[in-house]
Structure 1
Amino acid sequence: MAIWDFVKDAGKAVFGKAEAAPAPSTPSADAAAPKADPDAETQRKVAALKAELQSLNLDAGDVHLRLRGDTVVVESRGADREVLEKLILAVGNIQGIAKVEADLPDDAPPPVFHTVTKGETLSAIAKEHLGSATQYNAIFEANRPMLSDPDKIYPGQVLRIPAKA
């Protein structure tokens, strides 16, 4: 499995806040306070990730996600390479996720991903990777449905760079 790094503190917030237990009123109540179930919290976060994939129409029902701390393992038997790359980016660009593990077919070169820095535009990224600023739309299209507008990228976001035409 390959591992891709993401900016943990950047991205869409989908996890929300877990239900907070009521604050204990006395020191003796602290011992009786219910402990948070880490498995329930992990399941809640995985459900939020799956809901995000479904909202982007990237989950045809064959996507399996496992969460280990701030790392997501993505498995999908039916997805082609383009969809797998989009799955990696869709879950990696979630606030709180630092790494994504996934298996991509061995018969192709590794994907080219670019982490947006402050002040960058799709045009500048296109010029750097594709040789022409006018190719910004190719990057925009390669990152649909995660991008809805070519002007709405943010520092820390990781984008898919398509192969040169």
Structure 2
Amino acid sequence: MGLFSFIKDAGEKLFGTSKDVQAAQAEPAKLPDLNAKAGSAIKTYIETQNLGIQNLAVQYDGASGKVTVTGAAPSEEAAEKVTLCCGNVASVTSVDNQLSFPPGTASQYHDVVSGDTLSAISKKYYGDANQYMKIFEANKPMLSDPNKIYPGQKLRIPAA
């Protein structure tokens, strides 16, 4: 799928704080262990989404904030959701999604800004504000409520 960029300070707090990351960068000897723990936390988070990923492997590089994920996804949609799972975690700045999947229709992505709603995003991409549930469904289970999106979050916009 490729490399996707994300906002470092937005997202789920699965491991430590930005102060913890800075402290780890100051002590390079601790970085490999912290990277392994962070990778494991992200992998566990992906697995809890029940996306059907086989042979999932997650590597996290705290120095760059990059997550690399490998394995096999049952669909392009599942692979895209894995990208969002990884990228919408605090301290992650980019995701290199190397998952394999059967061919399908590509989606777009939207970076949420202040004032965005799923209806407004739906109007922008589909020309119809009432199609917001399509976006909500495409981002489940990362989204639990159509009214709970936040600036800096990246959303998957499925093809019309």
Normalising by structure 1, report the TM-score.
0.81
Give the letter aligned to residue 73 of structure 1. T
Which string of whole-angstrom CA distances, capped at 9 and with x for unpartnered residues, describes residues 76-97 of structure 1? 2243211000000001000000
Provide the C-alpha distance between the structure 2 equivalents of 1:94 and 1:35, rounded to a whole number of angstroms: 22
SS of alignment partner, residue 96 of structure 2:
strand
The structure whose Rg is larger is: 1
Counterpart of 2:144 in structure 1 is: 148
Give the letter aligned to residue 91 of structure 1. C
SS of alignment partner, residue 113 of structure 1:
strand
Q: CA RMSD in A?
A: 2.3
Provide the C-alpha distance between the structure 1 equivalents of 2:5 and 2:40, rounded to a whole number of angstroms: 22
SS of alignment partner, residue 155 of structure 1:
coil
SS of alignment partner, residue 127 of structure 1:
helix
Counterpart of 1:67 in structure 2 is: 60
Give the letter aligned to residue 89 of structure 2. I
Which string of whole-angstrom CA distances, capped at 9 and with x for unpartnered residues, describes residues 70-126 of structure 1? 011111224321100000000100000010112466955643000000010000000
Per the TM alignment, residue 59 of structure 1 is displaced from its structure 2 partner at its CA by 5.6
Counterpart of 2:14 in structure 1 is: 14
Provide the C-alpha distance between the structure 1 equivalents of 2:59 and 2:107, rounded to a whole number of angstroms: 22
Q: Within 5 Å, which residues of 2 pair with 1:55-94?
A: 55-58=48-51, 60-68=53-61, 69-94=64-89
Q: Which runs of 5+ in 1 are unaligned?
A: 22-33
Where do 4+ consecutive residues of structure 1 move more than 4 Å? 104-110
In the alignment, structure 1 residue 50 sits paired with structure 2 residue 43: yes
Give the letter aligned to residue 76 of structure 1. G
Counterpart of 2:128 in structure 1 is: 132
Shift of the 115–41 alpha-carbon distance from structure 1 to 2, 3 Å rule, reads same
Query: Equivalent pairs: percent with the same residue?
Result: 39
Provide the C-alpha distance between the structure 2 equivalents of 1:41 and 1:59, rounded to a whole number of angstroms: 27
Shift of the 35–123 alpha-carbon distance from structure 1 to 2, 3 Å rule, reads closer
Aligned length: 150
Question: Is the 1:137–1:150 contact (alpha carbons within 8 Å) kept by the matching residues of 2?
Answer: yes
Greater helix fraction, Structure 1 or Structure 2: 2
Per the TM alignment, residue 16 of structure 1 is displaced from its structure 2 partner at its CA by 2.3
In the alignment, structure 1 residue 163 sits paired with structure 2 residue 159: yes
Q: Which runs of 5+ in 2 are unaligned?
A: none
